[in-house]
Chains A and B, each alone.
Chain A
Amino acid sequence: MMTVSGLVKRFPGVVALDGVDLDIRAGEIHALVGENGAGKSTLVKALAGIHAPDGGTMTFDGAPYTPAGAADALAAGISVVHQELALLPYLTVAENLFLRALPRTAGVVDRKRLRADAARLLAEIGLEVSPDTLVERLGIAQMQLVEIAKAISTDCKLLIMDEPTATLTSRESGRLFGILRALRERGVAIVYISHHLQEVLELADRVTVLRNGRSIETREMAGVTAPDLVRSMVGRDLAQEFPAKPPTAPGEVALKVRDLKVAGFEGPLSFSVRRGEVVGLAGLVGSGRTEAMRAIFGADPALSENIELYGKKVHIRHPQDAVRHGISLLTEDRKSQGLVLDLPISANVTLAKLRGFLVRFGRERSLAEDLGRRLHLRSAGVDQHVRTLSGGNQQKVVLAKWLNAGSDILIVDEPTRGIDVGAKYEIHELLLGLAAEGKALLVVSSDLPELMGICDRLLVFSRGKIAGEVARADFDAEHILTLAYSGYLKNGETQ
């Protein structure tokens, strides 16, 4: 009923979809799997009318399908349940369900009919709450079910679910699967995206594997195993180029973390990094890597931690403590957490080392100019506001800030996300250069080839735990990805 062929979507500097073919039949559950950044979310957004594709065609129910916006998709009968819930907490369940078209008589909301319609819909998906309950009072699983009820409240022919079980317990997931199967019986087509391969194997009729923005294969689920899927997701092509990694001789242990526990993640986490070493943190998005790094840096409180720097125990309660101890954190979102966009480059570069009474403008300028040269920063001068720089150059400003702070331990979270290939190479070069100078580096990245290209050692996170550690000599994408998925394969009860 939905046929996609040769779909292409480009973003500045990145090709997110590079020729995706997909066909979805009425009355089937069709799984979409792929690594972080394989193009799953972009594909969903194209189907939902949020992104207009740059090439390729989509047909729905035999007619060309070119949605101009989310409303068109809905009108055609395509509903999406996104990963982030989009409910209004201070309205009732019934109001949320029918917000798009509240039943009314003479312009006034017909509460009676609203309640009756809502009750019928809730019964249909087996959610036992009163339609008058405020959404705020629901548990996360119930909210998820309300989202699904909302999606099928319109005449829905194709239901797309993006990671619906990420926040559910296995019992709740079980109920969700029941509902999905019932919908399938009614002839609704369901596209199901999940990291949980076990679920995919259990639930789906067919599966399509995406890799690097391309659809690799579509298979009937019968006979497919988890290792088959992982192998297909990894593929063999490593198109990216990386600077040559100089041989490293790691020195003393710089940072040692023991029994770190972070709210919302299983843990506990223990690991260490030596001077001159580049340690990568691999894993799926949401596996707890960013949260662990933020806790070490003091950006978020940890439930329990035991951090040693060069063999001495330290307490880090605020980023200020971390910076004073010579730790830097390059955050995953440079615009909202790394930069002061409306200040010039020079002010951003000195931000982490700003002390004393007077700003030394002359020194600041020359410092920023020196660092700019070293990092090949392309700008109109250090007075240029950071807002007007390109993504790659903004990232170099954040790096310059931390270089200027002179930290010996560098934590970088998604250092090359959304950055063009040339700047990527330069940033990789720079990171390797810092390690060669004897700094200790922790690199969080969802780009596995990147981690394999620049790291000495990988810690593979899976569902809030370190599922394994892999040395550079044993780097193997398939093995690493298997580890990354391992926490999601067991039908774990814990959250």
Chain B
Amino acid sequence: MIKRLVLGEAGIGVALVLLAGFFVIAAPSFATEQNLRNIMTQITLNTVLAVGMTFVILVGGIDLSVGSAMALCAVVSGTMMAGSGSDLTLVGGILVSVLVGGVVGWVNGFVSEQWRVPSFIVTLAMLNIARGGAERYTDAATIYNLPAALNDFGTLTLVGIPAVFWVALLLAGAGWFVLSRTVFGRLIYATGNNEEAVRLSGHKTSRIKIAAFMIAGLTVGIAAILYMARLNIASPILGQGYELNAIAAVVIGGASLMGGRGSMVGTFLGACLLGVLTNGLLLMGVSDFERQIITGLVILVAVVLDAYRLRLARKLAVAQPAQALTPAMTPS
């Protein structure tokens, strides 16, 4: 039991429960049905982006471009869908958004693999390119009159849960399945752990890494659609700073920025934790500035605790070799 607490994602789960418990007492309106739905809507975008970011971070990369790329996806597909009521343009718009995201992700991955440039730099450049591209595309204008059907979906509730959050859940579930059950997921973990060993075992690690960036790009395209569904606009300045929230969720979820360690369950819990924190503090009337400070501290504590946890895990592994560690990829 102690081992599970120390080694698994259970630690974040416990932190989440404690935090929620605190808000239930400290903020009377926290535990209402309406507010829970609000939280789900609020964490939807970050969850979707963090699912893709998990793949990138697991292979030892980072993607700083997701916020800007989301704006690019939104304006390109928003321009296409605006003012039209036909289902065809709606479907086309969704596909285009996903396509643009996928292409941006592929470029990120391809450039950093082909020329061996750190993805930090490549995606930093892409952050600027995509943002500038989005502004140029609409001449900095905001796009209104998106299809009504899209907006309907943004406000739809299924079984008491917002439809957009269902999408996030679905993506997180799919991400979990890929990472923990498929050969591709296994290779993602292995490449992040020791790329050379994987390459010398006969796998094209470059392709695996580029695929991870593409997956991140696809989630960006989906997030852009969800954004438009919720707010009914597409703006070239949307999504600023979203990349950092996504990275924070993944890291709070126990992933290592060196790659090879992390999980989809952890990422999901990390996104929930950030969402609950923001929402609860807001309800308590904490100012924006203080909220940022507290969020920053939470990230720090999570990372420090995680470093400590890892040391402890290594010690346990050496002290009792008879008890095998839970493999990183098996579902918890």
Interface residues of A (CB under 8 A from B): 297, 299, 318-320, 322-324, 329, 331, 336-344, 346-347, 351-352, 354-359, 361, 380-381, 383-385, 387-388, 401, 405
Q: Which of A319, A320, A344, A401 makes the CB contact (< 8 A) with B327?
A: A344
Alpha-carbon distance between A318 and B205 when the two chains are bound, in angstroms: 11
**How would residues 169 to 211 of chain B score, 1 for a CB under 8 Å from any chain A CB and 0 otherwise?**
0000000000001111111011001101111111110000000
Alpha-carbon distance between A380 and B326 when the two chains are bound, in angstroms: 13
Q: Select the stretch in B36-44, B91-99, B314-322 that faces chain A.
A: B314-322
Q: Please, could you name 25 A-B residue pairs with CB atoms under 8 Å apart, sorted by A? A: A319-B201, A320-B203, A323-B202, A324-B202, A331-B200, A336-B194, A337-B194, A337-B200, A339-B194, A340-B197, A342-B260, A351-B197, A351-B203, A354-B183, A354-B201, A357-B182, A357-B183, A357-B184, A359-B185, A385-B317, A385-B324, A388-B317, A388-B321, A405-B201, A405-B202
5 nearest A-B residue pairs (beta carbon): A323-B202, A383-B324, A352-B201, A384-B324, A344-B327
Q: CB distance A359 to B204 under 8 Å?
A: no
Taking CB atoms, residues of chain A closer than 8 Å to B324 are 344, 380-381, 383-385
From residue A183, how far is it (CB to closest CB) to chain B in Å? 41
Alpha-carbon distance between A385 and B261 when the two chains are bound, in angstroms: 13
From residue B263, how far is it (CB to closest CB) to chain A in Å? 13
Q: Which of B182, B186, B317, B323 makes the CB contact (< 8 A) with A347?
A: B186
Taking CB atoms, residues of chain B closer than 8 Å to A354 are 183, 186-187, 201, 203
Q: CB distance B190 to A351 under 8 Å?
A: yes
User: In chain A, what residue has the closest Cβ to B326?
Assistant: A383
Q: A357-B182, A385-B327 are in contact. Are A338 and B193 (CB under 8 A)?
A: no
Query: Does chain A have a CB within 8 A of B329?
Result: yes
Alpha-carbon distance between A316 and B196 when the two chains are bound, in angstroms: 17
Query: Does chain A have a CB within 8 A of B325?
Result: yes
Query: Does chain A have a CB within 8 A of B328?
Result: yes
Taking CB atoms, residues of chain A closer than 8 Å to B183 are 354-359
Q: CB distance B187 to A337 under 8 Å?
A: no
Q: CB distance B327 to A383 under 8 Å?
A: yes
Alpha-carbon distance between A337 and B199 when the two chains are bound, in angstroms: 9
From residue A140, how far is it (CB to closest CB) to chain B in Å? 23
Known pairs A297-B200, A352-B201, A385-B324 / 12 extra A-B pairs, C-beta < 8 Å: A319-B199, A337-B200, A342-B261, A342-B328, A344-B325, A344-B327, A346-B327, A354-B183, A354-B201, A359-B183, A383-B326, A384-B325
Alpha-carbon distance between A320 and B318 when the two chains are bound, in angstroms: 34
Q: A383-B324, A383-B325, A388-B318 are in contact. Are A342 and B193 (CB under 8 A)?
A: yes
Taking CB atoms, residues of chain A closer than 8 Å to B326 are 383
Alpha-carbon distance between A383 and B185 when the two chains are bound, in angstroms: 17
Q: CB distance A343 to B327 under 8 Å?
A: yes
Alpha-carbon distance between A405 and B189 when the two chains are bound, in angstroms: 20
Q: CB distance B202 to A343 under 8 Å?
A: no
From residue A38, how far is it (CB to closest CB) to chain B in Å? 30
From residue B187, how far is it (CB to closest CB) to chain A in Å? 7
From residue A355, how far is it (CB to closest CB) to chain B in Å? 7
Chain A CB count within 10 A is highest, among B187, B203, B322, for B203
Taking CB atoms, residues of chain A closer than 8 Å to B193 are 340-343
Taking CB atoms, residues of chain A closer than 8 Å to B181 are 358-359
Alpha-carbon distance between A319 and B201 when the two chains are bound, in angstroms: 7
Alpha-carbon distance between A343 and B317 when the two chains are bound, in angstroms: 13
Alpha-carbon distance between A21 and B216 when the two chains are bound, in angstroms: 62
Taking CB atoms, residues of chain B closer than 8 Å to A356 are 183
Taking CB atoms, residues of chain B closer than 8 Å to A337 are 194, 196-197, 200
From residue A333, how far is it (CB to closest CB) to chain B in Å? 9
Taking CB atoms, residues of chain A closer than 8 Å to B203 are 320, 351, 354
Q: A344-B327, A357-B183, A385-B327 are in contact. Are A338 and B322 (CB under 8 A)?
A: no
Alpha-carbon distance between A401 and B201 when the two chains are bound, in angstroms: 9
Taking CB atoms, residues of chain B closer than 8 Å to A342 are 193, 260-261, 328
User: In chain B, what residue has the closest Cβ to A387?
Assistant: B317
Alpha-carbon distance between A388 and B261 when the two chains are bound, in angstroms: 17
Alpha-carbon distance between A359 and B188 when the two chains are bound, in angstroms: 13
Alpha-carbon distance between A270 and B181 when the two chains are bound, in angstroms: 45
Alpha-carbon distance between A319 and B185 when the two chains are bound, in angstroms: 20
User: In chain B, what residue has the closest Cβ to A384?
Assistant: B324
In chain B, residues 43-90, which have Cβ atoms closer than 8 Å to a Cβ of chain A? none
From residue B257, how far is it (CB to closest CB) to chain A in Å? 15
Q: CB distance B204 to A338 under 8 Å?
A: no
Q: A351-B201, A352-B202 are in contact. Are A340 and B190 (CB under 8 A)?
A: yes
Taking CB atoms, residues of chain B closer than 8 Å to A344 are 324-325, 327
Q: Which of A331, A346, A380, A387 makes the CB contact (< 8 A) with B323?
A: A380
Taking CB atoms, residues of chain A closer than 8 Å to B194 are 336-337, 339-341
User: In chain B, what residue has the closest Cβ to A354?
Assistant: B183
User: In chain A, what residue has the closest Cβ to B204?
Assistant: A320
Q: CB distance A336 to B190 under 8 Å?
A: no
Q: Which of A297, A352, A384 makes the CB contact (< 8 A) with B321?
A: A384
Chain B CB count within 10 A is highest, among A341, A358, A401, for A358
From residue A315, how far is it (CB to closest CB) to chain B in Å? 15
Alpha-carbon distance between A103 and B135 when the two chains are bound, in angstroms: 55
Taking CB atoms, residues of chain B closer than 8 Å to A323 are 201-202
Alpha-carbon distance between A401 and B202 when the two chains are bound, in angstroms: 12
Taking CB atoms, residues of chain B closer than 8 Å to A341 are 193-194
Taking CB atoms, residues of chain B closer than 8 Å to A357 are 182-184
From residue B113, how far is it (CB to closest CB) to chain A in Å? 14
Alpha-carbon distance between A347 and B261 when the two chains are bound, in angstroms: 15
Alpha-carbon distance between A148 and B328 when the two chains are bound, in angstroms: 48
Q: A340-B190, A359-B183 are in contact. Are A329 and B200 (CB under 8 A)?
A: yes
Taking CB atoms, residues of chain B closer than 8 Å to A339 are 194, 197
Taking CB atoms, residues of chain B closer than 8 Å to A299 are 199-200
Taking CB atoms, residues of chain A closer than 8 Å to B186 are 347, 354, 359
Taking CB atoms, residues of chain B closer than 8 Å to A336 are 194, 196-197
User: In chain A, what residue has the closest Cβ to B320?
Assistant: A380
From residue A163, how far is it (CB to closest CB) to chain B in Å? 26
